[in-house]
Chain A
Amino acid sequence: MIEMQQSSEPHDPSLGSRAGHGSPDLNCEQLVTAITDYLEGAMSDEGRSRLEYHLSLCPPCQIYLDQIKATIAATGQLRTSDMSPDAKSVLIALFRTWAHDS
Protein backbone atom coordinates (compact mmCIF):
# COMPACT_ATOMS: atom_id res chain seq x y z
CA MET A 1 0.00 0.00 0.00
CA ILE A 2 0.97 3.60 -0.33
CA GLU A 3 1.59 5.27 3.00
CA MET A 4 0.15 8.69 3.67
CA GLN A 5 2.97 11.09 4.31
CA GLN A 6 2.87 12.62 7.73
CA SER A 7 4.74 15.84 7.10
CA SER A 8 3.02 19.08 7.91
CA GLU A 9 3.56 20.41 4.41
CA PRO A 10 1.06 19.96 1.64
CA HIS A 11 2.23 16.86 -0.12
CA ASP A 12 1.94 14.94 -3.30
CA PRO A 13 1.00 11.34 -3.46
CA SER A 14 4.10 9.25 -4.03
CA LEU A 15 4.69 10.20 -7.58
CA GLY A 16 6.46 7.05 -8.58
CA SER A 17 7.24 5.87 -12.05
CA ARG A 18 5.13 2.73 -12.03
CA ALA A 19 3.52 2.74 -15.41
CA GLY A 20 0.10 1.46 -16.29
CA HIS A 21 -2.87 2.53 -18.30
CA GLY A 22 -3.76 6.14 -17.58
CA SER A 23 -0.96 8.45 -16.58
CA PRO A 24 2.70 7.45 -16.65
CA ASP A 25 3.16 9.20 -13.31
CA LEU A 26 0.31 8.33 -11.04
CA ASN A 27 -1.54 5.07 -10.63
CA CYS A 28 -5.10 4.50 -9.48
CA GLU A 29 -4.18 3.47 -5.96
CA GLN A 30 -2.13 6.63 -5.51
CA LEU A 31 -5.01 8.71 -6.80
CA VAL A 32 -7.40 7.13 -4.33
CA THR A 33 -4.92 7.70 -1.52
CA ALA A 34 -4.54 11.36 -2.46
CA ILE A 35 -8.21 12.09 -3.17
CA THR A 36 -8.87 13.95 0.09
CA ASP A 37 -5.73 16.05 -0.26
CA TYR A 38 -6.92 16.87 -3.76
CA LEU A 39 -10.41 17.88 -2.64
CA GLU A 40 -8.98 19.82 0.29
CA GLY A 41 -6.67 21.82 -1.95
CA ALA A 42 -3.67 20.49 -0.05
CA MET A 43 -1.58 19.41 -3.03
CA SER A 44 1.19 21.20 -4.86
CA ASP A 45 0.35 22.53 -8.31
CA GLU A 46 2.44 19.76 -9.82
CA GLY A 47 0.75 17.00 -7.86
CA ARG A 48 -2.63 18.41 -8.71
CA SER A 49 -1.79 18.54 -12.42
CA ARG A 50 -0.62 14.95 -12.40
CA LEU A 51 -3.72 13.82 -10.58
CA GLU A 52 -6.00 15.68 -12.97
CA TYR A 53 -4.12 14.27 -15.94
CA HIS A 54 -4.65 10.76 -14.61
CA LEU A 55 -8.32 11.50 -14.02
CA SER A 56 -8.76 12.71 -17.58
CA LEU A 57 -7.58 9.32 -18.85
CA CYS A 58 -9.09 6.96 -16.29
CA PRO A 59 -12.89 6.44 -16.18
CA PRO A 60 -12.84 4.21 -13.05
CA CYS A 61 -11.02 6.94 -11.12
CA GLN A 62 -13.55 9.49 -12.39
CA ILE A 63 -16.28 7.24 -11.02
CA TYR A 64 -14.42 7.00 -7.73
CA LEU A 65 -14.11 10.78 -7.45
CA ASP A 66 -17.80 11.22 -8.28
CA GLN A 67 -18.69 8.70 -5.58
CA ILE A 68 -16.59 10.46 -2.97
CA LYS A 69 -18.31 13.73 -3.86
CA ALA A 70 -21.73 12.04 -3.71
CA THR A 71 -20.78 10.57 -0.31
CA ILE A 72 -19.85 14.01 1.03
CA ALA A 73 -23.11 15.51 -0.25
CA ALA A 74 -25.17 12.68 1.23
CA THR A 75 -23.40 12.93 4.59
CA GLY A 76 -24.37 16.60 4.69
CA GLN A 77 -28.02 15.53 4.57
CA LEU A 78 -27.71 14.18 8.11
CA ARG A 79 -27.60 17.69 9.46
CA THR A 80 -30.73 18.75 11.27
CA SER A 81 -31.53 21.90 13.12
CA ASP A 82 -34.21 20.78 15.50
CA MET A 83 -34.33 22.10 19.01
CA SER A 84 -36.99 21.49 21.61
CA PRO A 85 -38.98 24.54 22.74
CA ASP A 86 -38.27 23.45 26.33
CA ALA A 87 -34.52 23.58 25.85
CA LYS A 88 -34.85 27.04 24.38
CA SER A 89 -37.03 28.30 27.25
CA VAL A 90 -34.46 27.09 29.76
CA LEU A 91 -31.70 28.98 27.96
CA ILE A 92 -33.73 32.17 27.65
CA ALA A 93 -34.44 32.02 31.39
CA LEU A 94 -30.74 31.52 31.99
CA PHE A 95 -29.95 34.55 29.84
CA ARG A 96 -32.45 36.71 31.74
CA THR A 97 -30.87 35.75 35.04
CA TRP A 98 -27.41 36.48 33.68
CA ALA A 99 -28.48 39.83 32.19
CA HIS A 100 -30.18 40.77 35.44
CA ASP A 101 -27.20 39.88 37.60
CA SER A 102 -24.49 41.36 35.45
Chain B
Amino acid sequence: MEGRATVSTCPVTDGTTAVLPLDAEPIGGDELALVAALRRGDEDSFSQLVTQLHPSMVRLAQLFVRDRATAEEVVQEAWVGVLQGLDRFEGRSALRTWIFRIVANKARTRGRREARTVPFSAFTPEDTDDDTAAVDADRFWGTGGASPGHWQAPPEPWVDAEGRVLASETGDVIAAAIADLPERQRLVITMRDVEGWDAEEVCNTLDITATNQRVLLHRARTAVRHALEAYLSAA
Protein backbone atom coordinates (compact mmCIF):
# COMPACT_ATOMS: atom_id res chain seq x y z
CA MET B 1 0.00 0.00 0.00
CA GLU B 2 2.71 2.44 0.96
CA GLY B 3 4.68 1.75 -2.16
CA ARG B 4 1.68 2.57 -4.28
CA ALA B 5 1.06 5.76 -2.37
CA THR B 6 4.59 6.85 -3.29
CA VAL B 7 4.08 6.62 -7.00
CA SER B 8 0.56 7.98 -6.89
CA THR B 9 1.48 11.25 -5.21
CA CYS B 10 0.47 13.92 -7.62
CA PRO B 11 1.06 17.61 -8.18
CA VAL B 12 -1.54 19.95 -6.81
CA THR B 13 -2.60 22.53 -9.32
CA ASP B 14 -5.95 23.86 -8.35
CA GLY B 15 -8.02 22.12 -5.71
CA THR B 16 -11.08 22.05 -7.90
CA THR B 17 -9.34 20.33 -10.78
CA ALA B 18 -6.67 18.42 -8.89
CA VAL B 19 -5.33 15.38 -10.65
CA LEU B 20 -6.14 12.46 -8.44
CA PRO B 21 -4.16 9.29 -8.00
CA LEU B 22 -5.16 6.48 -10.29
CA ASP B 23 -5.55 4.12 -7.40
CA ALA B 24 -7.66 6.45 -5.27
CA GLU B 25 -10.56 4.69 -3.67
CA PRO B 26 -13.67 5.35 -5.68
CA ILE B 27 -16.35 6.83 -3.48
CA GLY B 28 -19.17 4.68 -2.25
CA GLY B 29 -22.89 4.90 -2.92
CA ASP B 30 -23.54 6.86 0.24
CA GLU B 31 -21.17 9.56 -0.86
CA LEU B 32 -22.61 9.72 -4.35
CA ALA B 33 -26.04 10.12 -2.79
CA LEU B 34 -24.69 12.91 -0.60
CA VAL B 35 -23.18 14.71 -3.58
CA ALA B 36 -26.46 14.38 -5.47
CA ALA B 37 -28.35 15.80 -2.47
CA LEU B 38 -25.98 18.76 -2.29
CA ARG B 39 -26.38 19.43 -5.98
CA ARG B 40 -30.12 19.66 -5.65
CA GLY B 41 -29.76 22.07 -2.72
CA ASP B 42 -30.57 19.80 0.23
CA GLU B 43 -29.79 21.95 3.25
CA ASP B 44 -29.78 19.15 5.84
CA SER B 45 -27.14 17.28 3.89
CA PHE B 46 -25.00 20.39 3.70
CA SER B 47 -25.47 21.07 7.38
CA GLN B 48 -24.35 17.54 8.29
CA LEU B 49 -21.32 17.80 6.06
CA VAL B 50 -20.36 21.11 7.64
CA THR B 51 -20.70 19.67 11.15
CA GLN B 52 -18.60 16.71 10.17
CA LEU B 53 -15.76 18.47 8.34
CA HIS B 54 -15.61 22.14 9.29
CA PRO B 55 -13.59 21.87 12.54
CA SER B 56 -10.97 19.70 10.82
CA MET B 57 -10.88 22.10 7.88
CA VAL B 58 -10.19 25.03 10.20
CA ARG B 59 -7.40 23.14 11.94
CA LEU B 60 -5.92 22.23 8.58
CA ALA B 61 -6.04 25.85 7.39
CA GLN B 62 -4.51 27.01 10.66
CA LEU B 63 -1.40 25.05 9.87
CA PHE B 64 -0.70 27.38 6.95
CA VAL B 65 -1.89 30.79 8.11
CA ARG B 66 -1.21 33.19 10.94
CA ASP B 67 -4.25 32.93 13.15
CA ARG B 68 -7.59 31.31 13.66
CA ALA B 69 -9.59 34.20 12.23
CA THR B 70 -7.68 33.96 8.96
CA ALA B 71 -8.14 30.19 8.97
CA GLU B 72 -11.91 30.64 9.37
CA GLU B 73 -11.89 33.03 6.40
CA VAL B 74 -9.91 30.60 4.28
CA VAL B 75 -12.29 27.77 5.13
CA GLN B 76 -15.29 29.88 4.23
CA GLU B 77 -13.66 30.59 0.87
CA ALA B 78 -13.01 26.88 0.54
CA TRP B 79 -16.70 26.07 1.09
CA VAL B 80 -17.54 28.49 -1.70
CA GLY B 81 -15.00 26.65 -3.86
CA VAL B 82 -16.54 23.31 -2.91
CA LEU B 83 -20.04 24.43 -3.89
CA GLN B 84 -18.83 26.00 -7.12
CA GLY B 85 -16.83 22.90 -7.97
CA LEU B 86 -19.48 20.37 -7.02
CA ASP B 87 -20.71 19.92 -10.58
CA ARG B 88 -17.18 19.06 -11.64
CA PHE B 89 -16.59 16.61 -8.79
CA GLU B 90 -16.26 13.23 -10.44
CA GLY B 91 -15.98 11.00 -7.42
CA ARG B 92 -12.53 9.74 -8.29
CA SER B 93 -11.44 10.42 -4.73
CA ALA B 94 -13.31 10.56 -1.47
CA LEU B 95 -15.34 13.74 -1.11
CA ARG B 96 -13.50 14.69 2.04
CA THR B 97 -10.09 14.29 0.40
CA TRP B 98 -11.23 16.52 -2.43
CA ILE B 99 -12.52 19.12 0.05
CA PHE B 100 -9.35 19.03 2.15
CA ARG B 101 -7.25 19.60 -0.94
CA ILE B 102 -9.26 22.70 -1.72
CA VAL B 103 -8.71 23.94 1.84
CA ALA B 104 -4.98 23.16 1.72
CA ASN B 105 -4.55 24.95 -1.61
CA LYS B 106 -6.39 28.06 -0.50
CA ALA B 107 -4.66 28.13 2.88
CA ARG B 108 -1.25 27.62 1.29
CA THR B 109 -1.87 30.50 -1.10
CA ARG B 110 -2.93 32.73 1.75
CA GLY B 111 -0.04 31.61 3.93
CA ARG B 112 2.41 32.38 1.16
CA ARG B 113 1.00 35.87 0.92
CA GLU B 114 1.56 36.16 4.66
CA ALA B 115 5.02 34.63 4.19
CA ARG B 116 4.03 32.07 6.77
CA THR B 117 4.90 29.06 4.69
CA VAL B 118 7.35 27.82 2.12
CA PRO B 119 5.81 26.10 -0.86
CA PHE B 120 5.56 22.36 -0.51
CA SER B 121 6.56 22.05 -4.13
CA ALA B 122 10.06 23.07 -3.03
CA PHE B 123 10.12 20.03 -0.82
CA THR B 124 12.58 17.38 -1.92
CA PRO B 125 12.93 13.92 -0.43
CA GLU B 126 16.13 14.95 1.30
CA ASP B 127 14.57 18.01 2.83
CA THR B 128 12.97 16.95 6.06
CA ASP B 129 13.30 20.30 7.81
CA ASP B 130 16.59 19.64 9.49
CA ASP B 131 19.50 17.27 9.51
CA THR B 132 19.36 16.33 13.12
CA ALA B 133 18.95 12.75 14.21
CA ALA B 134 15.37 11.65 14.52
CA VAL B 135 16.28 9.75 17.64
CA ASP B 136 18.18 10.86 20.68
CA ALA B 137 21.51 9.47 19.53
CA ASP B 138 23.16 10.08 22.88
CA ARG B 139 20.81 7.61 24.48
CA PHE B 140 22.71 4.79 22.81
CA TRP B 141 26.24 3.49 23.20
CA GLY B 142 28.54 4.83 20.51
CA THR B 143 30.85 2.68 18.44
CA GLY B 144 33.54 2.74 21.13
CA GLY B 145 31.05 2.03 23.90
CA ALA B 146 30.26 -1.09 25.85
CA SER B 147 27.45 -2.20 23.56
CA PRO B 148 27.29 -0.13 20.40
CA GLY B 149 23.80 0.77 19.24
CA HIS B 150 22.13 -0.43 22.41
CA TRP B 151 20.53 1.63 25.13
CA GLN B 152 22.92 3.50 27.35
CA ALA B 153 20.06 5.43 28.92
CA PRO B 154 17.04 3.15 28.45
CA PRO B 155 13.57 4.67 28.68
CA GLU B 156 12.00 4.43 32.11
CA PRO B 157 8.46 3.10 32.19
CA TRP B 158 5.89 5.84 32.60
CA VAL B 159 4.15 5.06 35.84
CA ASP B 160 0.48 4.52 35.17
CA ALA B 161 1.36 5.51 31.65
CA GLU B 162 -2.09 5.23 30.19
CA GLY B 163 -3.86 7.26 32.86
CA ARG B 164 -1.27 9.99 33.11
CA VAL B 165 -0.48 10.31 29.44
CA LEU B 166 -4.13 10.60 28.55
CA ALA B 167 -4.83 13.11 31.33
CA SER B 168 -5.84 16.52 30.11
CA GLU B 169 -2.76 18.22 31.53
CA THR B 170 -0.54 16.34 29.13
CA GLY B 171 -2.58 17.78 26.29
CA ASP B 172 -0.88 21.13 26.87
CA VAL B 173 2.54 19.49 26.84
CA ILE B 174 1.76 17.76 23.55
CA ALA B 175 0.24 20.86 21.97
CA ALA B 176 3.32 22.89 22.93
CA ALA B 177 5.65 20.22 21.56
CA ILE B 178 3.76 20.16 18.25
CA ALA B 179 3.79 23.97 18.05
CA ASP B 180 7.59 23.90 18.39
CA LEU B 181 8.08 21.47 15.50
CA PRO B 182 9.34 22.54 12.08
CA GLU B 183 6.40 23.30 9.83
CA ARG B 184 6.24 20.11 7.77
CA GLN B 185 6.51 17.89 10.80
CA ARG B 186 3.75 19.92 12.44
CA LEU B 187 1.51 19.49 9.42
CA VAL B 188 2.02 15.77 9.17
CA ILE B 189 1.60 14.90 12.85
CA THR B 190 -1.49 17.10 13.10
CA MET B 191 -3.13 15.45 10.13
CA ARG B 192 -2.14 11.92 11.10
CA ASP B 193 -2.29 11.78 14.87
CA VAL B 194 -4.61 14.64 15.80
CA GLU B 195 -7.06 14.40 12.90
CA GLY B 196 -6.65 10.69 12.32
CA TRP B 197 -6.13 10.88 8.54
CA ASP B 198 -4.53 7.97 6.78
CA ALA B 199 -1.09 8.22 5.23
CA GLU B 200 -2.28 8.37 1.64
CA GLU B 201 -4.69 11.20 2.40
CA VAL B 202 -1.84 13.22 3.90
CA CYS B 203 0.45 12.50 0.94
CA ASN B 204 -2.23 13.59 -1.49
CA THR B 205 -3.18 16.72 0.41
CA LEU B 206 0.40 17.88 0.97
CA ASP B 207 1.80 16.51 -2.27
CA ILE B 208 4.59 14.57 -0.60
CA THR B 209 5.81 11.02 -1.06
CA ALA B 210 4.97 8.18 1.28
CA THR B 211 8.60 8.02 2.40
CA ASN B 212 8.68 11.73 3.22
CA GLN B 213 5.46 11.42 5.10
CA ARG B 214 6.90 8.65 7.25
CA VAL B 215 10.17 10.48 7.92
CA LEU B 216 8.32 13.62 8.99
CA LEU B 217 5.89 11.64 11.11
CA HIS B 218 8.73 9.74 12.72
CA ARG B 219 10.60 12.88 13.68
CA ALA B 220 7.47 14.55 14.96
CA ARG B 221 6.37 11.58 17.07
CA THR B 222 9.87 11.19 18.45
CA ALA B 223 9.89 14.84 19.52
CA VAL B 224 6.48 14.60 21.16
CA ARG B 225 7.43 11.41 23.00
CA HIS B 226 10.56 13.15 24.19
CA ALA B 227 8.54 16.11 25.50
CA LEU B 228 6.19 13.75 27.32
CA GLU B 229 9.11 11.85 28.79
CA ALA B 230 10.66 15.07 30.09
CA TYR B 231 7.34 16.15 31.56
CA LEU B 232 6.47 12.82 33.16
CA SER B 233 9.89 12.26 34.66
CA ALA B 234 10.00 15.79 36.10
CA ALA B 235 6.59 15.46 37.75
Q: A42–B214 contact, CB under 8 A?
A: yes
Most buried by A among B7, B72, B165: B165
Q: What 10 new A-B contacts, CB under 8 Å, besides A94-B79, A100-B41?
A: A4-B215, A8-B3, A8-B209, A8-B210, A20-B148, A27-B149, A28-B149, A32-B222, A42-B210, A78-B171
Q: Which B residues from 154 to 188 make CB contacts under 8 A with A?
A: 154-158, 161-162, 165-166, 168, 170-171, 174-175, 178
Q: Is the interface of A mostly helix, strand, loop or mixed?
A: helix
Bound Cα distance from A64 to B3, whole angstroms: 27
* Contact status of A10 and B3, CB under 8 A, knowing A60-B155, A63-B154, A66-B161: yes
Does B90 touch A at the CB level, under 8 Å? no
Residue-wise interface mask of B (122-148) relative to A, using a CB-CB cutoff of 8 A (1 in contact, 0 not): 000110000001110100100000011
Partner of A81, one of B7, B55, B166, B189: B55
Q: Is the interface of B mostly helix, strand, loop or mixed?
A: helix
Segment at the interface with A among B17-25, B46-54, B110-118:
B46-54
Q: B161–A95 contact, CB under 8 A?
A: no
Q: Inside 8 A of B193's CB, which chain A residues have their CB?
A: 72, 75-76
Q: Inside 8 A of A46's CB, which chain B residues have their CB?
A: none
Bound Cα distance from A91 to B38, whole angstroms: 13
Bound Cα distance from A78 to B125, whole angstroms: 29
The total number of A-B Cβ pairs within 8 Å is 169
Q: B150–A22 contact, CB under 8 A?
A: yes
Q: A67–B166 contact, CB under 8 A?
A: no
Q: A83–B51 contact, CB under 8 A?
A: yes
Does B109 touch A at the CB level, under 8 Å? no
Residue-wise interface mask of A (59-78) relative to B, using a CB-CB cutoff of 8 A (1 in contact, 0 not): 01101101110111111111
Q: State how many angstroms separate the Cβ of B211 from the closest Cβ of chain A.
A: 6
Q: State how many angstroms separate the Cβ of A65 from the closest Cβ of chain B.
A: 10
Q: B217–A99 contact, CB under 8 A?
A: no
Q: State how many angstroms separate the Cβ of B52 from the closest Cβ of chain A.
A: 9
Partner of A95, one of B2, B46, B170, B225: B46
Q: State how many angstroms separate the Cβ of B137 from the closest Cβ of chain A.
A: 5
Q: Inside 8 A of B217's CB, which chain A residues have their CB?
A: 36, 40
Partner of B224, one of A18, A32, A71, A82: A71
